[in-house]
Amino acid sequence: MNKTDKDTLDAAKRMLQGKIDINEVSMMLNIPVEKLKPIKDEVDEQVRKVYGNLDSYDFSEPVLFENFDDLGNDEDLESEEDEIY
């Protein structure tokens, strides 16, 4: 394998790590999908080792928070002082 082929495969690996579809990588870099599948499997295995079953897209979703103030108190719940006996 010459340096150009190695550089092309390295670029394909980086693209697959960036969640670009394998068919698009194949089309852009003119590499057969069959040659990219082992690289994709390697990238997927690395992601599983680092993040478990979480996908990187799971971290990009908006997170909903309850109505807590800066001290961690929930404004929707009555405090013990407000309770009527």
What's the farthest any 2 CA atoms get from each other in the chain?
A: 82
In angstroms, how far is CA 66 from the centroid of its own chain? 25
CA dist 17 to 51, 52, 64, Å?
13, 16, 28
> φ, ψ for residue 61 (rounded to 5)?
-70, 150
Q: Give pLDDT tens digits for 18-31.
A: 889 999 999 999 99
Q: Give pLDDT tens digits for 28-78.
A: 999 999 999 999 999 988 877 766 666 555 555 555 555 555 555 656 556
pTM of the full structure = 0.59
Beta bridge partners of 15: none
In angstroms, how far is CA 46 from the centroid of its own chain? 12
